[in-house]
Structure 1
Amino acid sequence: MNYLDSLYWIHERNKFGIKPGVKRMQWMLAKLNNPQFKINGIHVGGTNGKGSTVAYIRSALVNNDYQVGTFTSPFIETFNERISLNGHPISDDELVNLVQIVKPVSEALEVETDLGTATEFEIITTMMFVYFGEINPVDFVIVEAGLGVKNDSTNVFNPILTILTSIGLDHTDILGDSYVDIAKDKGAIVKPNTPIIYAVKNDEALKVIRHNAKMNDAKAIELDRDITVVSEGDEFTYRYKNYELETLVLNMLGEHQKENAALAITALLELNEAGSVDLDFNKMIDGIESVTWSGRIERVKDQPLMIIDGAHNNESVEALIDTIKDYYHLEQVDILFSAVKGKPVNEMLEQLMPITQNLYITEFDFPKAMTKEDISNEINFEQKELVDDYASFIENYSGHALIITGSLYFISEVKAKVNF
């Protein structure tokens, strides 16, 4: 198989959809000598902020000369970035090799068990564990959970530390439609005698996480209780225990990014205190401050101003709006919007309306993408227009400011088709 054959085979698993549960993963990994138990892994879950938090930890560790693997989703620019080493995607040849290892095992799963066919996400997750557990062992692997935690494909290893970045109402059709339901699912990231660092704002969800930590004898480290973030314009001060880090300035914009960075710093300090790492704090801070993360409030053009952001639920839309107002000082912008099915599109658009001058609605090539007509039916707004060719629209846009948002999958397509 060549690279394109390998990608086609992986993507073909998409038709099997989302099938919660870890039994297929456990079966396949057992056939592959359980590589998931051979990694020094950090598990990162949450509704929003996972990717950024992974990036902060990875950058700080790499800056301290550690070899760091990461597993993230979805991809923004290249499929291979989902499995990365020191911030660089694995090569095409490495991906082909991984498919050749995992494909026979996934085929045996179908023949030898009644567990059904492995999904795309299960295949990629298995490939990641094989890569970092067998083929290319590293000092640390930072594993971002996919959908929820309890029944997620990543929930099959024994982490040295866990992080829960947030709990919001997303994927409610699968995880449940209340904060408590979602907290019970994502709270499964808490493991026995393993530190859990979390940022949970909803009181009911917070009770669930605190209870899980207590039941598991897990050291619970909570934002706004144990960790303090004092924001002062672009800068912020971080406090935890006897640590105080002042005048931190991130490349990543938004108050939410200061909180994500605070979780990452806490994780690093905990690893340092446990003797798992030996950190130069200046290198750690330099690494965190230098992080950029594609598709997250990313300024892609200055004249006219264009920002792309993968906001795909109410909480991330709120963070986007706050950043547009607080950092760019814009009261009105044009919005180019597209989304996938199952998202609270009406609420997302209602939130965006106060800052929207013109709303442009489009659709993109993705199995779960909504049609532009269905999106338009979700909102009553005078200044809205349906756009057939979003790439041409972006290239010919001549307004004062355009925000392109609604879905990380949409952002990925935009970056592939438009040369900013």
Structure 2
Amino acid sequence: MIINFDQYKERWGIQSDPAIKPGLEGMTRALALLNNPHEKLRVVHVAGTNGKGSTIAFLEQMALHHGLSVGKFTSPCIVDVHDQIRVNLHPISRKEMDRVFETMKNAGISGLLTDFELLTCAAFLHFANEQTDLVLLETGLGGLEDSTNVVDPLVSIITSIDFDHTNILGDTLEQIAHHKAGIIKKGKPAIIGSLQEEALSVIKRKAALENSPLSVYGKDFYVHPGREGEEYIYLKADVAIDRLTRKMAGAHQRINMALAITAFLEVVENLRLNANVDSIRKAVEKTSLAGRFEQVFPKVYFDGAHNPASIGKLVETIKQQFPNETIRFVIGMVRDKDIENVLRLLETVSDEFYFVDFENPRAAKAKDLMQLSRAKKKEIVENCASFIQSSAHFDGVTIVTGSLYLLAEIRNQLISSSALAE
């Protein structure tokens, strides 16, 4: 479900299918009718089970701090469809969205695409209209058959590979890695995060097949703690960047930071620019991202972790940030996630859970989540926004998690009640 997307489809009389349909045939045909706007773009393509949004956020700041105009396409939304397509941090406006929809209407692509494919076409058109210097493109699902995989990127990034969307991508790491590896393109560099050997071997074979230069975290580039404890040093071959500090909490964010720096060094080399070390430091320090251990009220945090791998990182971050605090969770999830393993992980740091329903066709019922929970204190919350506002006065830390779709809905409720600035 893409919030507020249907209003544009209805206004312009464009039909698309809300279902997920892997494959590039529809995209290829539609983009040809649109004169292939994606071919005009310089792209960094990012896939991975977790870490895509954070890595892109680091990259976005680095590019902006070097004076580049930057387009960004991510999913799902933070508030609604407009923030999924951004240029220089600004969400696409209603006027700009109407402009690209008019172009799509006139091109005759109605009925050819799924919702996400149609949104991807809208993003490509907007970035081409804005003549962006660089586009940061996040895959929606997998990579090989994802609608974004029509581009020929400057560099590809695979942040992580773990179990998620197994009904589509497969139920082994090798099968999932096969889909993620689909974004690796002939002769173009690929930057890889810390992967398990089963997944890494698949990536290596694909890179060799495509003659793609491969850089792997922990082998070809590193991040080490600096002298001051909170500072870090980035190292790659003859490159060393010290005094790196970040506000993005969690040990896993230093890997995302390293992936972004490595990719950005490839970008500036391709664009024949000079990387400014001080600008990279400032960019890393400034980077933040909604829904990634985001403080929304005193002692209230939003985190979009939604599978065992990302929930595991969240638990590590909680232990690191709040070792002596009482923790309680507000949680909603979609049905096709590994709910029981997610709950078992969260129950290692809290025995107090509040389950919520939210508007999404894939959402699990709060009562079903509560039945699966082993927590001693567990309840269903009806008015989630009010509960979260009142949680600012709780003697402990409240963390809202389980789904980015849940966070988007609550954020909209809080904005409507003027409790949270947009």
Provide the residue aligned with 1:123 in structure 2. 118
| Residue in 1 that maps onto 2:76 | 74
1:21 matches 2:45: no
State whether residues 309 and 405 of structure 1, in contact with CA within 8 Å, keep that contact through their aligned partners in structure 2. yes
Q: Which amino acid aligns with 2:34?
A: L
| Closer/same/farther in 2, CA of residues 106 and 376 from structure 1, 3 Å limit | farther
Q: Secondary structure at the match of 2:258?
A: helix
Specify the alignment match of 1:64 in structure 2. Answer: 66
Asked if the contact 1:338/1:406 (under 8 Å) is kept, the reply is: yes
What is the count of residue pairs matched by the alignment? Answer: 409
Counterpart AA for 2:47: G
Whether the 8 Å contact between 2:77 and 2:408 is mirrored in structure 1 is: yes
What is residue 217 of structure 1 aligned with on the other side? 211
Structure-1 separation of matches of 2:17 and 2:383: 26
Equivalent residue, structure 1, for 2:87: 85
Q: 1: distance between equivalents of 2:101 and 2:244? A: 42
**Counterpart selection for 2:301 from 303, 307, 317:** 307
Q: Which residue of 1 aligns with 2:318?
A: 324
Deviation (angstroms), 1:231: 3.3
Q: Is the 8 A contact 1:12 1:120 kept in 2?
A: no
Question: Identity across aligned pairs (percent)?
Answer: 34
Quote the residue 1:292 is aligned against. 288
- Summarize deviations over 1:283-331 as a string: whole Å, max 9, x none: 12211220110111001122xx111100011111111111111123245
Letter aligned with residue 70 of structure 2? V
CA distance in 1, matches of 2:260, 2:12: 32
Contact 2:33 2:108 in 1 (8 A): no
Q: Is the contact made by 2:347 and 2:374 (CA closer than 8 Å) also made in structure 1?
A: no
How many Å apart are 1:14 and its aligned residue? 7.6
Could you tell me how far apart the structure 1 residues matched to 2:6 and 2:117 are?
Answer: 19
TM-score (norm 2): 0.92
Corresponding position of 1:113:
none
Shift of 1:138: 1.2
CA distance 1:98–1:274, shift in 2 (3 Å): closer
Gaps of 5+ in 1: 111-116
Per the TM alignment, residue 395 of structure 1 is displaced from its structure 2 partner at its CA by 2.4
CA change 1:275–1:122 in 2 (3 A) is closer
Q: Give TM-score, length-normalised by structure 1.
A: 0.93
Q: Give me the CA root mean square deviation.
A: 2.1
Query: What amino acid does structure 2 have at the position aligned with 1:126?
Result: C
Q: Which is further off, 348-357 or 11-20? A: 11-20
Of the structure 1 ranges 81-90 and 3-12, higher mean CA displacement relative to structure 2 is found in 3-12
The alpha-carbon deviation at position 155 of structure 1 amounts to 0.2
Partner in structure 1 of residue 346 of structure 2: 352
The answer to whether residue 355 in structure 2 is matched with residue 361 in structure 1 is yes
User: How far does the alpha carbon of each residue in 1:338-395 deviate from its partner, in whole angstroms, 9 at most, with x for none?
Assistant: 0112111110010000111311111111221111122123223321111122122212
* Equivalent of residue 239 in structure 2, options 243, 249, 254: 243
The corresponding residue for 1:226 is 220
Q: CA deviation at 1:80?
A: 1.0
Question: Structure 2: which 5+ runs fail to align?
Answer: none
d(CA) in 2 for partners of 1:12, 1:338? 32
Residues 3, 96 of structure 1: 8 Å contact kept: no
3-state DSSP class of the match of 1:310?
coil
Q: Tell me the alpha carbon deviations over residues 189-246 of structure 1, each in whole angstroms, 9 at most, x when there is no partner.
A: 1111000001142110010001111111100000000011113643222111111122
Provide the C-alpha distance between the structure 1 equivalents of 2:302 and 2:175, rounded to a whole number of angstroms.
Answer: 31
